[in-house]
Amino acid sequence: MSLITSAQRARLLLNARATAAAEQRAESIDHLPVVKLFTPDGVCTWLLTELRLDDPTTAFGLCDLGQGYPELGYVSLLDIASLRGTLGLVVERDEHFEADRTLSAFAELARDCGRIVT
């Protein structure tokens, strides 16, 4: 399974273009996460909203490595793809994930709970 579908990749890039345009106007956008990745045999979860336009192998989103401190930031999709959980399973995409709140709302809830809650 691919980490990100072509439709999700297109949405992630569209969000990146919208963010860049908003930054030109000194505004910000709070996107809905497009994709959720997770380790099925571990504690890591990522909610991604956009890809860097100058490096589409780097995504922005909420990253939770299972240490109790989820944070917003950039992550390498190549690094995620190379990760293995405690049983050696690869990172998967949650095929049923549909965002019901913005990334900042997920981040606030994650800070309160010490982990990403979807």
Each residue's pLDDT tens digit, 103-113: 999 999 999 99
Interval 27-82: pLDDT, tens? 999 999 999 999 999 899 999 999 999 999 999 999 999 999 999 999 999 999 99
- The continuous run of DSSP H or E covering 73 comes out as strand 71-76
Residue 10 lies in a domain: yes
Structural domain contains residue 118: no
Task: Report CA dihedral (17, 30, 115, 52) to the nearest 10 degrees.
Answer: 10
Q: By the 8 A CB rule, do 115 and 45 touch?
A: yes
Is residue 70 situated within a structural domain? yes
- The separation between CA 18 and the C-alpha centre of its own chain, rounded to angstroms, equals 17
pLDDT of residue 84: 93
Is residue 98 very low, low, confident or very high in pLDDT (cuts 50, 70, 90)? very high
pLDDT at 1 over 70: no
- Structural domain count of the chain: 1
Residue 44 lies in a domain: yes
Q: Would residue 94 count as lying in a domain?
A: yes
Residue 45, domain member (yes or no): yes
Give the residue numbers spanning the domain of 20.
Answer: 6-113
Classify residue 79: in a domain, yes or no. yes
57 within some domain: yes
